[in-house]
A and B are shown apart, each in its own frame.
Chain A
Amino acid sequence: METTKPVNKYVELNMGPQHPSTHGVLRLKLLLDGETVKRVEPVIGYLHRNAEKICELDYYCDSLLYFDRMDYVNSLSMEAGFLEAAEKLLGIEPPERAKWIRTIMAELSRIASHLVWAGAYGLDLGMLTPFFYVFDLREQLLNIFTEASGSRLLTNYMSIGGVYQDFNDKIIYMIKDFINSFPKKLEEVFNLFVKNDIFISRTKGIGILEKDVAISYGVTGPMLRGSGVDYDVRKAEPYLMYDKVNFDIPVSYAKDCLGRFLVRYEEMRQSVKIVKQAINKIPDGPYFNPKAKKSLMIRLRGEGEAYGRTESSKGEFGVYLVGDGTVKPYRVRVRSPTFKNLSVLRELGKDVMIADLVAISGSIDLVFGEVDR
């Protein structure tokens, strides 16, 4: 009697780095049983741009531009994160007006980031229409950034000790115009998602992330708040002017992809609330610290070490700077939130369908400039 050889039950599949639904250059090595994923191993590093090394070769003020390019949909929050550490290290305090301007710009940038995420997440799940709505809304924000800084996406607006350029009346008018019209339009986009049965059935109950797993893997941001932990750096360790404005932290106890979507939606509304309060509180005065004016900026020397942490749209963004008394940093280390959030995909991607894996990896909000740096 002839014996048949046992057939290998599992199939190995390579997904990425060029894949339409992985938000960039993520590569996943999958082990499949039919259509069920048994094991998933993310392979990263396809956008490793040696930012940490180049920062060591540049002046403190020049390092800022590499932070712009880390989380490129949220560049103004990245700048605020770097300056949080750099200003502590260099001992330069920005004036109050600059702090308010930074708060406003960081929040507007958070809205832009969440909008891009929502559009891309819709594309992941097969919805094309919201993409056009969110990019239309985002275009208004980019007009504000262009008016303030001269650039659309990678603004390089903030600088050590202040901001590059003062707010004028036109920018304030544009921001007021935006925050008045935005919530209504956002609700329109929101209804496109949550009144769609396919979207609900593809996200509800998918990608359950338990609280203790999330904390053990160092997950922060909307991922953590989507798992029911009430934690936000803006409240826990207020920076800029977040202790002078009134806002809430949205938390979802559903722990699934839909919960994370709802957290991000509510965050956008809270950001509008912050901007609404902040725009009326901007005091008159200088917009940069004279100790860090442009001609003196490359002479700034830092010694010791400082760690600054901020809440970017993805989670806790930390910058650890070590100086040795020269005009260049000795070591720059970035705590990128998506790097940690992505590492939990190994847990989330067990025993799910391939189609759900796309929904889960989309809900992490991956931006590869920040994962790989």
Chain B
Amino acid sequence: MVEIVEEPAGKDKRKIFRVKKEDLIPAMKSFYDQGYDHLSLITGIDRRDKIEVVYHLHSFQKNEYIVVKTETLNDTVPSVTSIWKSADWDEREQYDMLGITFEGHPDLRRILLPEGWSGYPLRKNYDLSKVQFVNMDEDGNDYASFDPGDGW
């Protein structure tokens, strides 16, 4: 049985539902069947001791907007790419920025930052004082390192 708990609405008066990480896929499928065909946004929030993942869903027919929340302690969340295709790049971005591993994602790579970047910038414990440099290899792919290399 999927447990979906409704929480008090936020300051924007949208309904908030909280599900457990294990129930995420069945819960999302049931929302999709209810007509929420547009996954608007995936947000990861670093709460220091845990990671909260927030999904904003929208239904074109009902013209309703709801928020679904889940949380994880070990940085892994099941991927919803099988339900909405727009989850693909959103999950890649959240992996890039917060290091959340979405299990079952077909192609989980960094999207905005180059390969080899160390650390996840939107984590609260990210050290901004460490400078990293990006260089380009012969195929035109970028890689990051702490070494300036030529050209810098």
The answer to whether A and B touch directly, with their CB atoms under 8 angstroms apart, is yes
Query: Which residues of chain A have a CB within 8 Å of any CB of chain B?
Result: 14, 44-45, 48, 50, 52-53, 56, 85, 88-89, 91, 215-218, 229, 231, 236-237, 304-309, 316, 318, 320, 322, 330-331, 333, 335, 339-340, 343, 372
Cβ proximity bits B29-70 to A, threshold 8 Å, 1 near / 0 not: 000000001111101011000000010100010010101000
In the complex, are the beta carbons of B113 and A88 less than 8 A apart? no
> Closest 10 CB pairs between A and B?
A218-B86, A45-B112, A333-B43, A48-B112, A306-B12, A335-B41, A306-B11, A216-B85, A343-B89, A305-B10
In the complex, are the beta carbons of B112 and A307 less than 8 A apart? no
**How big is the B interface, by class?**
20 to 34
A45-B112, A45-B113, A218-B84 in contact; A89/B11 too (CB < 8 A)?
yes
**B140 partner, pick from A14, A237, A322, beta carbons under 8 A:** A14
What A residues does B63 contact at CB under 8 A?
236-237
CB of B55, distance to nearest CB on chain A (Å): 11
CA distance A340 to B43 in the complex (A): 14
In the complex, are the beta carbons of A340 and B86 less than 8 A apart? yes
Taking CB as reference atom, which chain B residue is nearest A212? Answer: B37
Taking CB as reference atom, which chain B residue is nearest A17? Answer: B140
A48-B113, A89-B11, A307-B12 in contact; A335/B40 too (CB < 8 A)?
yes
In the complex, are the beta carbons of A45 and B111 less than 8 A apart? yes
CA distance A175 to B46 in the complex (A): 45
CA distance A333 to B67 in the complex (A): 14
What A residues does B89 contact at CB under 8 A?
339-340, 343
Q: Is B122 located at the chain interface by the 8 A CB criterion?
A: yes
CA distance A333 to B85 in the complex (A): 20
What A residues does B56 contact at CB under 8 A?
307, 318, 320, 335
In the complex, are the beta carbons of B111 and A343 less than 8 A apart? no
What A residues does B45 contact at CB under 8 A?
322, 330-331
Taking CB as reference atom, which chain A residue is nearest B140? Answer: A14
CA distance A308 to B13 in the complex (A): 11
In the complex, are the beta carbons of A218 and B40 less than 8 A apart? yes
**A53 partner, pick from B93, B114, B122, beta carbons under 8 A:** B122
In the complex, are the beta carbons of B11 and A304 less than 8 A apart? yes
In the complex, are the beta carbons of A316 and B113 less than 8 A apart? no
In the complex, are the beta carbons of B37 and A216 less than 8 A apart? yes
CA distance A53 to B121 in the complex (A): 7
**A218 partner, pick from B39, B121, B122, beta carbons under 8 A:** B39
CB of B81, distance to nearest CB on chain A (Å): 11
> Which B79-137 residues have a C-beta within 8 angstroms of A?
84-86, 88-89, 93, 97, 111-114, 121-122, 126
Taking CB as reference atom, which chain B residue is nearest A307? Answer: B12
What A residues does B10 contact at CB under 8 A?
304-307
Q: Which one of A52, A229, A340 has the highest number of Cβ atoms from chain B below 10 Å of its Cβ?
A: A340
What B residues does A231 contact at CB under 8 A?
60
What 18 new A-B contacts, CB under 8 Å, besides A217-B85, A372-B112?
A44-B111, A48-B112, A85-B12, A216-B85, A217-B86, A218-B39, A304-B11, A305-B12, A307-B10, A307-B56, A307-B65, A309-B40, A316-B40, A318-B41, A320-B43, A333-B43, A340-B86, A343-B86
In the complex, are the beta carbons of A305 and B60 less than 8 A apart? no
CB of B71, distance to nearest CB on chain A (Å): 13
